Chains A and B, each alone.
Chain A
Amino acid sequence: MQSSMIAISDLSKRFGRLEVLKSIQVDFSAGKSYAMIGPNGSGKTTLIKCILGMVIADKGEIRVDGKSIANDWTYRNRIGYMPQIGRYPDQMKIGQIFDMIRDLRQDQAHLDEDLIKEFKLDRMKDKRMGTLSGGTRQKVSASLAFLFDPPILILDEPTAGLDPIAVETLKEKILSVKSKEKTFLISSHIMSDLDELSSHLVYLEEGKMLFNDTIDSLKEETGESKLGRAVASIMRRNLKEMEA
């Protein structure tokens, strides 16, 4: 068995009456790339936020690199996170955001500024975050996630809102970094992207983990050659099981 980078056991979370995560049990192995899919509101973002310690789980444990994350914050040194909707202080400039985060993570020696250059963010250093379009914010988020060359990368719908050129740039970046033994966790609704980027699939529905295997074995099981079709057939099967 491979070493698990992120180990989640029996994780549950409710927001008021709504049970968002129901006893999630999953291991993300080091050096693998995981696609996380599921309908809207299935708990993907909540699970990601639990891993980051932004949402505190009611029950269960998350271990990153073998250590429990409860009451710890240093493990976030090892994570690059790109949020679904990057929210930044409106009055700060792009350059100031990068400087501040760099200032906070001083101990990191190696900086990876490829994305900043490729997205041409270094030419917009003086633009305020409040004036940026949604796509440009996503570019800032992506550049921040990759900046410190972290061993774990968590991307929450990375390609949503980006223009086609930026999507390709980001995908190329993910693929080039992937070869460096990084652990990826990518949530998305765009199956063709995930087909290219990941080797494993995690399927969440209504806060439950319904499927966790390699993409190849999923394709084999369903007899489909495309991830989109394979997932659709799994979802249909689940629906039938629920109705039955």
Chain B
Amino acid sequence: MIRIAKYVLYDIVRNRFILLYTLLLLTVTLSMYSLDTDPGKSTLSLLNIILLVVPLVSIIFTTIHFFNSYEFIELLLSQPVNRKTIFFAEFLSIAFALSCAFLIGVALPMVLLNFNASTPYLIMAGLLLTFVFVALAFGASVSTRDKAKGIGVALLFWFYFTLIYDGFVLYVIYSFSDYPLEKVTLLLVSLNPIDLARIIILLKLDLSALMGYTGAFYKHFFGSSMGIAYSFSFLILWTVVPLMLAMRRFTRKDI
């Protein structure tokens, strides 16, 4: 697996996109901290950008990379190599490369410029989001043969989790506002990895007061170590389940 991952990583590093992504994240992070004197506000603005950019870049880059390495996969499959090995080597290399970009572009300047209690959570959430969207991208890639279609499905995932799903949640909360909805919204939030990451960080930034009664409920829940464990394990589930489904599909796919 390491042997194959080595070649995949070599290929990823060669095309320089990861370098650009690292620089983009680095620029955004540094400019956020230099624009505002209040580091708390900077972290909040940064959070909003991360929650949009990290999933988008992860899912699109992974999908494009998968389709571009089709020849590579084809070549390996005629050799004595296990399909699962190829699949996990691809996943690990891409997730590793994107995580490195995030660590250098966001985590490193944050730790150096403004380290506080919320920083480790933000870093963890960013890394897990990367994993989740790489896994989702694999799901989109293996279920279609066509590159344009694959990228379309990947974009749809991103739109769904950043825009459409939130609209749906708002609609539910608005229409059923006469009922106690805390537990329901908690469940709804768990079904969207981006929301999950957002709430973990918001609570850690002590901005839950902005979210009213629901915020207080969340604080009570997520503030406890049980809540943190709950949300992180949900993010891990969001990685493992799509990845396993994609792998099953890949091992049965006709190349």
* A in complex with B: yes
Cβ of A73 and Cβ of B83 under 8 Å apart?
A: yes
Closest to A97 in B: B75
Q: Which of B14, B77, B80, B252 has the most chain A CB within a 10 Å cutoff?
A: B80
Closest to A88 in B: B71
Cβ of A54 and Cβ of B254 under 8 Å apart?
A: yes
Give Cα distance in the complex from A97 to B7, angstroms: 10
Cβ of B74 and Cβ of A54 under 8 Å apart?
A: yes
Interface flags for A63-79 (1: CB within 8 Å of B; 0: not) read 00000000001111101
Cβ of A55 and Cβ of B79 under 8 Å apart?
A: no
Cβ of A89 and Cβ of B72 under 8 Å apart?
A: yes
Cβ of B255 and Cβ of A49 under 8 Å apart?
A: yes
**Given A87-B74, A87-B75, A88-B75, A73-B82 contact (CB < 8 Å):** yes
Which residues from chain B contact A90 at a C-beta distance below 8 Å?
A: 71
Q: How far is the CB of A227 from chain B (nearest CB, A)?
A: 28
Q: How far is the CB of A225 from chain B (nearest CB, A)?
A: 37
Q: Contact size class for A?
A: 20 to 34
Q: Which of A88, A89, A105 has the most chain B CB within a 10 Å cutoff?
A: A89
Q: How far is the CB of A207 from chain B (nearest CB, A)?
A: 15
User: Is A124 on the interface with B (CB-CB < 8 A)?
Assistant: no
B4 CB contact (under 8 Å) in A54, A87, A104, A105? A104
**Given A89-B69, A104-B4, A55-B254 contact (CB < 8 Å):** yes
Cβ of B80 and Cβ of A55 under 8 Å apart?
A: no
Closest to A73 in B: B82
Give Cα distance in the complex from A15 to B255, angstroms: 12
Interface flags for A124-152 (1: CB within 8 Å of B; 0: not) read 00000000000000000000000000000
Q: Which of B4, B79, B81, B255 has the most chain A CB within a 10 Å cutoff?
A: B79
Closest to A46 in B: B254
Give Cα distance in the complex from A49 to B252, angstroms: 13
**A-B contact list, 26 entries, CB within 8 Å:** A15-B254, A49-B254, A52-B78, A53-B77, A54-B77, A54-B78, A55-B255, A56-B252, A56-B253, A75-B80, A76-B78, A76-B79, A76-B81, A77-B80, A79-B78, A87-B70, A87-B74, A88-B72, A90-B71, A97-B75, A100-B7, A101-B75, A104-B3, A104-B76, A104-B80, A105-B79
